[in-house]
Amino acid sequence: MKVLSEERTRILFEKLTKYIGVNVKQLIDRPDGTYCFREKKDRVYYISERILHLAQTVKPDHLISAGTCFGKFTKTNKFRLHITALSYIAPYAPYKVWVKPSSEQQFLYGHHIIKSGLSRITDNTPKHHGVVICTMSDIPIGFGVAARTTAECRHADPLATIVFHQADVGEYIRAEDTLT
Amino acid sequence: MGRKAKFDETKKVKKGPGRKARKQPDPVFKKELLIDETTTEKKLTHRQKQRAAKRSKKKAEIVEKRKALKQAKKNVAKQTEVVLDNDENDSDEEIAKGFTDENKEWLKPKQKVSKKQKKPVAADSDSEEGDDDVDDDGSEVSEQSEAEEESDVEENVKNKAGKKKAGGEKYKVGTLDDLFKDSDVENGDATSEDENESSNKLEYDSDSDDEEKGSDDDDDDDDDMLPIEKANIKLKKKQKEDKKLSEEEMQLNIAKQDVFAFPSEHELQNPTSLQDVLQRIKDVIHVLGNFSNLKEEGRSRCEYTDLLLQDLCTYYSYNEFLMEILMQIFPVQELIEFLEASEVARPVTIRTNSLKTRRRELAQALINRGVNLDPVGKWSKVGLVVYSSTVPIGATPEYLAGHYILQGASSFLPVMALAPQENERILDMCAAPGGKASHIAAIMKNTGVLFANDANKERTKAIVGNFHRLGVANSVLCNHDGREFPNVMKGFDRVLLDAPCTGTGVIAKDPSVKTTKDQKDIQRCFNIQRQLLLAAIDCCSAKSSTGGYIVYSTCSILPEENEWVVNYALKRRNVKLVPTGLDFGTEGFVKYRHHRFHPSLKHTRRFYPHTHNMDGFFVAKLKKFSNVIPEPFKDEDDEDIEAKQNGDDQTEEETPKTEDTKQAPVKRSAPTDASQPQKKKNKIDAQTSPSNAAQDVKTIESTEKKGNNKKKNKNQKKNKKNKQNMDNSTEVKVNNADNKSSSGKTETANKPQNENVNKKNKKNKQNMASSTEVKVNNADNHSSGGKTETANKPKTENINKKNKKNKGKQNAVNGSPSLKNESASVTPTQNKTEVVQNNQSPNKKKNKKKKGKNQSPNPQSQPINKNENKITEKVEVAAATKLKEKLNKKKKQIGQINPNKDKKPAKGQPGKNFKKNKA
C-alpha cells in the first residue's frame, strides 16, 4: 500500500474524469471521512484512511485487498478501470446508456452495444466519452466508451456500434481470478 | 362474437344485391326447432315411454338401495327390497297414504303427543340404548332432548303441517344419527350437540324439498323396528367390528413378529436387494422399539444394533465409522430421518444484499424474470427461498449487479448470532467465499472495519469477487493462517469463526463425506478448530464497549467438533457462553457419551436438516470477560484424559512415524499441516529468542532439546526409564504452556521441526533397536531444532559444513551432529548458555574426549543448518555404531548439564525453565 506517484495520480484522475467528469472531487471530499487512493502491485485501491491505518498492520505479502479496487496500471503505465469501480462510477456518471432487456445478456457476455440494443441514451453524449451502461430498471451493469454522439445515434444503422464495451458485471463470473 | 341470430322471423332482413354483398343474412331456424322442448315429450313413442318409466324406476331403486345401505341393517335391506318390488305407483300410493289430509289429522295428534311425549320417547330409545351400550350415558339423552327443544322453537316459525312432518322426521333422523354416532365414535358433548342441530336442520330442508322419498323409508323403518331392535342391531354390528379389528390387529402383530427373523450369516453376506435391506432396517427398528417383547430368543440388543448399522451403511452408503457416530448422536428413529434428509438437497436460498437493494424490490425483479420464490421465514429479513426458476439464479443481471448472493439458510445464523453493530471492528477468521462476511458488512452498513481472513489464497479470490460485487467497501482482506492472527492484530469487537470442519451437516451438498471421513479426519479437524477458536478468542477484546463476542460455528453435527471444542475453549480462556439470540434450533449437548460438558453449553444451538430444513449447523456465542489468559494448570487432568482418549487415534499419522507414543503428544501439539516456511520461524525465534527463548524451550519438548543439552539428557533418561504415559503427560503440559505463551509463531515453528524429527525417527527406527532408537531420536530432535534456529545465521552454517567435512564420516555419529545443532541453535538466544552448550557439543562430537569448556569448537559446531538433511542420513547410518557411545555420553552429559544450569540461571528466564524441567 503505497502512495501513488505524481505521474500516476494524474493518469488516474484523467481516466476517472472521462467517466464521471467533475464529480471526481466528490470521491476525494467525502463527508464520512477522508478517502485516498493507494497502490499495491500496480492495483489502485480506493480506501478510507481509517481503514487504511488498520490495513497497514497486515504484512503486504498477506494483504489481498483493502477497500475497493479501482483498476490497475498496465505495463505501459496506462490506467485501466476494472468493473469493481462500477459502484463508485455509476452514481456520478453524467452520461448513461440504457439497453433493452433483450440485449442485456449480450452485453454481459462482453459484446459492444449496437443500435438495435439501445433503448435510451443521455442527451448530448459526446463521442469517445465514458458512459455507464444500465438496464431498463436502472441497474448499472458496466461501462464503456460512446462510439457515437447522441445525435449520430438517431441515424445510425441498426447494427452500428453505439458503445464500445470496456467492462461489465459479467466479469465477476467470467474473470473472477483477474478481478484485482 | 359470431353473427347474431334473429330468432324473431317477423323482422325480415332487407334483401338486395348491395346488402347481400355486404353481409351474410342471419341464419334462419325452422319453426319446430324454436318450439319449447316441453313439447318434445309428446313425440315419444310408446317404447320410449316404457323405457323412460323403467329408467325412473331404476333410479328410484338405486336411491332407496343407497339409503338401505346407509342404515346397514339387514332387516332394513329386506324391507327396502320389499318396497322395491312394489311399482312406482304403489310407492306413490303409499306416499299418498302417508301424507293425505286424513293422515294429516292423524299426524297432528301424534305430533302433539310426540311433542309432549317426544322426550319420554327419545329418552326411552336412548335409555334402551344406554342399557345395551355400556358407553352410552344419560348425557346423550339430555342432548337429544335439548336438540329437539331447539328444533321445536324453530318450528314455531313455520307451518304446522311442516312442523309435524319435520318434527316426526327429525325424531327419526335423530335416532338414526344416534345409531351412526354410536357405531362410529362417541363425540364430545359440544360437538354432538352441534351435529344434532345441524343434521336436523339439513334433514329438515331436504325433506321439505322432497317430502316423500326420505320419509317413506324412515316411516317404514320406524314402523317395523322397535328402538330396542335397532339398538340390538347396532350393538351386534359394533361387536362384530370390534372383533374384526382385534383379529386384524392380532394378525398384524403376528405378521410383524413373523416378518423379522434375525438373518443368518449367509443372508447377511449375500444381500439380495436394497429393498430387502430397507425392509430389514424397518424391522430392526421396530424390534428395537419394543425390544423385550419382540426380540428373538438369545439375541442381544447389540446384535440388533450391529445389524442395523450394517444395513444402514449399505442402504445409505456410509462408512461404518461415520454411521456409528451418527447412531451415537441420534436416537434410531431420528437417525433415519436425518439420513433421509441428508439425501435430499436443501432448497436454494438467496440473501438480499441490503447495501444495494431491498428484499421486496429484489423479489419483484426476480419474479419478473420467472423465478418462483418466497421469504425464507420470519426469522430473517433478507432471506428468500427459490422454489423454481426459468433462468440461472446465479447469473441474472441482479445477481451480477450484487443485489443478492446465493447462500444457504444456515449461513445466516452465525451472523445473526454475532449481531454486528455499526462502527465496530470485526474479524471473520475463515471468510471464504465471503458470504457470511459480506452479510456482516451489510448489517454494519459499510461502516467500521471488517477483516476477512482466509488461509487459502486461492479462495480469497472468491472473497474479493463477492465483496466488490456486493459493494462491500469497509473490508480488509488478508491471507493468514487463522491461528497466527493474534500476532497480526488483536482487539476486535467481535470475531466470527466459521471453522473448517468435516461437513457432516452438509452431506446433501457433498456426499463424499459419507465415505471419506474417519477418526483421523475428525481429530485433525477438531485440533485445528480448537487452535482456531483459541486464536479467535485471543483476537477479541474483552474491553470493547459494544462487543467482546466470539461466534463459533461449523457445518458439522459431530459433538467432537462442536461442543467439545467450545468446552475446551471455556477451560482455557476467560470466556462464557451466552445465548445466541436464535429462537429456534435445538440446544447443544451437555452430555455426550462419556463426556460431561459445561452446563452452559445448552446456550449453543444445533440445526438439523430433518428438523429445520437447513443444513446441519452448530452455532455457539461466547463472551469474553477478561483479556487475561488463565493458567492452564487445572486443565492438565482434562488434557491428560483427552490425550489418553485421543492419543491413540489422534496421532495416527504421527504414531507410525514414531514407534512409541512418546513423541506422539509432541506431534499432536503441532498441527499436521506445518507448511509454514522455516524462515519465518527462524526470524521469529531470533526476535523472540533473546527474551523468550527460554520459554519456548520450556514449552515444547523439541525446543527444549534445542535449547539445552540438559533437557535432552533428561528426555533421554525419561524415555529410557519412564513409561510412555509419563511422556504424554509432560508433553501435554508443554502444550498447555504453549497456549499460555500465546506466541503462535513459536508453536508453528516447532511443528515442522517435530515433523522432521519424526521422519528421522522413522529412519532411525528401521536401522536401530528400540532402546537405542529412543536415544537417537532425541539426538535427531536436537539436530532439527538446531536447524531451524540456526537457519538465520549463515556463518554458523558454513562453519558447520566445514566441521562436517573435516570430521567427515568418522564423526558421523548421530549424537554429535545433533548436539552441534543444538548448541548452535541455542547460541543466538543465550550467549553464555550457548557457550556452555557448545562446549558440550564438541565434547560429544569428539566422543567425550573433552568434557571441559571448548569455545573453539563452538563456531565449528554451530553449522549443520542446511546440511542437516545430509547429516541426518549420515546419522542414521552411523546410529547403530554409536549407540553405545551415546549411552556413555549421556552419563557424562548429565554431569555437564549441571554446570550449564548454573550458568543459565544467571540470564533469568532460561534458568527458570531449566529448573522446571529438572523438577
Each residue's pLDDT tens digit, B369-400: 999 999 998 999 999 999 999 999 998 999 99
Q: Give the pLDDT band (50/70/90) at residue B275.
A: confident
Interface contact B449-A50, CB threshold 8 A: yes
Distance from CA of A14 to the nearest CA of B (A): 23
Residue A169 pLDDT > 70: yes
- What percent of chain B clears pLDDT 70, i.e. is strictly above it? 47
Give residue B629's pLDDT: 86
Interface contact A137-B474, CB threshold 8 A: no
Task: Answer yes or no: are the C-beta atoms of A136 and A98 closer than 8 Å.
Answer: yes
Q: Give the pLDDT band (50/70/90) at residue B271.
A: low
Nearest to A139 among B401, B469, B488 (CB): B401
B822 or A103: whose pLDDT is higher?
Answer: A103
What nine digits make up the cell of B635?
486443565
> Active site includes B555?
yes
Average confidence (pLDDT) over B42-53: 84
Global confidence as pTM: 0.56
Residue B540 lies in a domain: yes
Residue B359 lies in a domain: yes
Q: Which domain holds residue B376?
A: 347-406
Please state the ipTM of this predicted complex: 0.96
For residue B204, which phi and psi values (nearest 5 degrees)? -60, -50
Distance from CA of B635 to the nearest CA of A (A): 34
The CA distance from B11 to B6, in Å, is 8
Give residue B908's pLDDT: 38
Q: Roughly what angle, to the nearest 10 degrees, separates helices B794-807 and B815-829?
A: 160
Average confidence (pLDDT) over B206-234: 62
Q: Which residues pair with B623 in a beta bridge?
A: B549, B576
Residue B869 pLDDT > 80: no
Give residue A32's pLDDT: 84
Residue B504 lies in a domain: yes
Residue B271 lies in a domain: yes
Last residue of a domain, one of B292, B326, B341: B341
Give residue B447's pLDDT: 92
pLDDT tens across A11-20, in order? 999 999 999 9
Task: Report the CATH architecture of A2-88.
Answer: Roll (3.10)
Q: Give the pLDDT band (50/70/90) at residue B265.
A: confident
Tracing cell 336411491 back to the chain, one arrives at B63
Residue of B nearest to A171 (CA): B400
What's the fold here for domain A93-175? 2.30.130
Do B523 and B621 have their domain in common?
yes
Read off the amino acid at residue B250: M
Residue B762 pLDDT > 50: no
Do B482 and B585 have their domain in common?
yes
B738 or B252: whose pLDDT is higher?
Answer: B252
Q: Give the pLDDT band (50/70/90) at residue A7.
A: very high
What nine digits make up the cell of B623?
463472551
Answer yes or no: is B433 a known binding residue: yes
Give residue B132's pLDDT: 43
Nearest to B488 among A51, A58, A139 (CB): A58
Average confidence (pLDDT) over B650-659: 37
Total domains in chain B come to 3
Q: Nearest Cα to B900, choosing from B819, B795, B812?
A: B819
Do B496 and B614 have their domain in common?
yes
Do B484 and B548 have their domain in common?
yes
Nearest to A69 among B397, B401, B468 (CB): B468
What nine digits make up the cell of B233?
342391531
The CA distance from B517 to B561, in Å, is 13
Nearest to A66 among B401, B476, B489 (CB): B476
DSSP string, A67-126: SEEEEEE-TTS-EEE-GGGHHHHTTT-S-EEEE-HHHHHHHHTTPPEEGGGEEEE-TTPP
Q: Which residues pair with A97 in a beta bridge?
A: A121, A133
Do B493 and B576 have their domain in common?
yes
Residue B660 pLDDT > 50: no
Residue B775 pLDDT > 50: no
Average confidence (pLDDT) over A158-180: 89
A-chain residues near B402 (CB < 8 A): 87, 169
B-chain residues near A54 (CB < 8 A): 425, 449, 451, 476, 489
Answer yes or no: is B486 a known binding residue: no
B148 or B253: whose pLDDT is higher?
Answer: B253
Interface contact B471-A87, CB threshold 8 A: yes
Q: Give the pLDDT band (50/70/90) at residue B279.
A: confident
Q: Give the pLDDT band (50/70/90) at residue B240.
A: very high
Average confidence (pLDDT) over B555-570: 92
The CA distance from B554 to B542, in Å, is 23
pLDDT tens across A118-136, in order? 999 999 999 999 999 999 9
B572 or B881: whose pLDDT is higher?
Answer: B572
Answer yes or no: is B793 a known binding residue: no
Q: E-strand spans in B517-582?
A: 549-554, 575-578
Do B550 and B596 have their domain in common?
yes
Would you kindly state where each structural domain of chain A is located, as residue ranges? 2-88, 93-175
Distance from CA of A172 to the nearest CA of B (A): 6
Interface contact B476-A87, CB threshold 8 A: no
The CA distance from B207 to B202, in Å, is 8
Give residue B287's pLDDT: 85
pLDDT tens across A24-52, in order? 988 888 888 899 999 998 999 999 999 99
Residue B742 pLDDT > 90: no
Task: Name the A residues in 76-135 with CB < 8 Å from any B CB.
Answer: 83-84, 87, 104, 108, 135
Average confidence (pLDDT) over B344-352: 92
Do B474 and B387 have their domain in common?
no
Give residue B292's pLDDT: 81
Do B306 and B352 have their domain in common?
no
Q: Which of B501, B525, B539, B555 is catalytic?
A: B555
B246 or B773: whose pLDDT is higher?
Answer: B246
Interface contact A139-B397, CB threshold 8 A: yes
B-chain residues near A65 (CB < 8 A): 464, 467, 475-477
A-chain residues near B478 (CB < 8 A): 58, 62-64
Residue B259 pLDDT > 60: no
pLDDT tens across B603-646, in order? 999 999 999 888 999 999 999 998 888 876 555 445 444 444 44
Residue B229 pLDDT > 90: no
- Give Cα B479 to chain centroid, integer Å: 30
pLDDT tens across B186-214, in order? 444 444 444 444 444 444 444 444 444 44
Q: Map residue B359 onto helix, strand or coil.
A: helix
Beta-carbon-side half-sphere exposure of residue B762 (alpha carbons within 13 Å): 11
- What percent of chain B clears pLDDT 90, i.e. is strictly above it? 29
Residue of B nearest to A141 (CA): B401
Average confidence (pLDDT) over B777-803: 43
Do B281 and B354 have their domain in common?
no
pLDDT tens across A87-117, in order? 999 999 999 999 999 999 999 999 999 999 9
Average confidence (pLDDT) over B895-917: 40
Distance from CA of B5 to the nearest CA of A (A): 48
Last residue of a domain, one of B580, B612, B630: B630
Answer yes or no: is B430 a known binding residue: yes
A-chain residues near B467 (CB < 8 A): 65
A179 in contact with B at a CB cutoff of 8 Å? yes
Quick one: A78 exposed, middle or buried, by C-beta within 10 A (0-12, 13-18, 19+)? Answer: exposed
CATH of the domain at B446: 3.40.50.150
Do B485 and B539 have their domain in common?
yes
Give residue A55's pLDDT: 92
Alpha helices (runs of H) in B651-769, residue ranges in sequence order: 654-657, 664-669, 678-699, 701-707, 709-721, 724-741, 744-767
Average confidence (pLDDT) over B276-300: 83
Residue B567 lies in a domain: yes
Across all residues in chain B, what is the average pLDDT?
A: 66
Give residue B77's pLDDT: 45
Give residue B27's pLDDT: 76
Task: Answer yes or no: are the C-beta atoms of B906 and B832 closer than 8 Å.
Answer: yes
Do B307 and B358 have their domain in common?
no
Residue of A nearest to B402 (CA): A169
Answer yes or no: is B313 a known binding residue: no
Do B489 and B535 have their domain in common?
yes
Give residue B900's pLDDT: 41
Which of B45-59, B557-571, B630-644, B886-900 has the lowest average pLDDT? Answer: B886-900
Chain B residues in contact with chain A using a Cβ-Cβ cutoff of 8 Å = 365, 394-395, 397-398, 400-403, 425, 449, 451, 457, 460-465, 467-469, 471, 473-480, 488-489
pLDDT tens across B306-326, in order? 888 988 998 999 999 999 999
